[in-house]
Amino acid sequence: MQFENIYTIDEMRSIAKRRLPRIVFDYIDGGAGDEQGLDTNARQFRNFRLVPRYLVDVSNRTQKTTVFGREYSSMFGVAPTGYAGFFRPGGEKMLARAALDNGIPYMQSGSSVASVEEIGQIAPGNSWFQLYAARDPATSDDILRRAADAGVETAAITIDLPVLGPRPRDSRSGWRVPLRMTPKVILDGLRHPAWSWGYLMDGGLPKMGNWAPYAGEGASAMEIAQFMRSNVCSTQLWSDIERYRRNWKGNLVLKGILHHDDARRAADAGVDGILVSNHGGRQFERAPAPIEVLPGIVEAVGSRLTVMMDSGISQGVDMLIAYALGAKFVFVGRATAWGVIAGGVEGTNRAIAILKGQVDTAMGQIGCNSPAELVDATLVKTN
């Protein structure tokens, strides 16, 4: 496929949809409950307008952004995408390679197929790691130790998964981990032979590399998946964050903050950054969109730590809006997921290029030369 002829993320999504069995596509595309959270995330971005400033020299635009002392080529990174190596064999490695080649960070999911050690070999120093805390704190601490040994400099602790949000779309389609090979699932696979062939040639259900060492010696892929499933929803307290801060010597980020008082407490706990996020609308359908609460959080703690955000960002202009409201960096998840599913590294490169192109064009159109200037951009909110 000639990916240079793909011009939007929606086109990339359509290609991925054709390739995937419906049960897998729905898992990636869907959200919690009635999926109002997905709609809210997108709608709140659409409610903003950026007012152009003309008669400005925009011939030397740059997207370069510095986060935690590292300069990146653009204002966004690749958000953690769970099971990417299931969606396409080697998916996390492809995402890590594409992010490295494009000069942006890759945040590896705690529920990835590839281990943190494997990603560390591909993108040393360029990968962040997202932790899903295990029920046993010793397991969480050991995963973070492995991440540090693999060269990870920034760890993001996911705090917004005390219980798993209901996903009726997944229940209707039959999605579960591990997948149950019902006649419906098998028929769905037969209708998508390219994906199914790749899945079978890769050995079927993959082992989740970050959880495998804790599921028991000789554990099968299914046993590892069941062990992971039993652990990813765990109660976390501020005392756990204090423990992470004591033990983790790199940059520590809390992912899932939506309340300004929680942001203040995170700053008091000594974390280096927060990721304002509602898990892409996948956990609690009535949570606010991050873009709605971002200004209040920036006002509360923006001078004390690095405030970033994800959830709902689907195009470059969304990033400009987030920066205008005070974000210092953003992450995109589904956009790059569609890219890797549609075309591996090539598809991911194209998705990143599309987003970078949209950022560059929008900056030129509003009279802005760098992300730092966006704090002075004029926004109009329509609702």
Active site (catalytic) residues: 279
For residue 217, the SS3 value is coil
- Both structure tokens of 261: 């008082």
Q: Cα 224 from chain centroid?
A: 23
DSSP E strands: which ranges in 142-250? 154-158
For the chain, the maximum distance between any two Cα atoms, rounded to a whole number of angstroms, is 67
What is the CA angle 377-382-383, rounded to 5? 125
Q: 3-state DSSP: the chain helix, strand, coil percent, rounded to 5?
A: 50, 15, 40
Question: CB pairs under 8 A, 24+ apart, for 196-199?
Answer: 196/21, 198/88, 198/89, 199/86, 199/89
**Best CA proximity match to 142, nearest among 163, 178, 162, 117:** 117
Give how far Cα 312 sits from Cα of 154, 278, 289, 319, 378, Å: 23, 9, 8, 10, 21
- Both structure tokens of 271: 């974390």
Question: Is-contact 62 78, C-beta < 8 A?
Answer: no
Give how far Cα 305 sits from Cα of 22, 31, 104, 242, 266, Å: 41, 30, 20, 16, 9
User: What is the identity of the amino acid at 266?
Assistant: A
Angstrom distance (rounded) from CA 123 to CA 108: 11
Question: Is-contact 124 151, C-beta < 8 A?
Answer: yes
User: What is the identity of the amino acid at 137?
Assistant: P
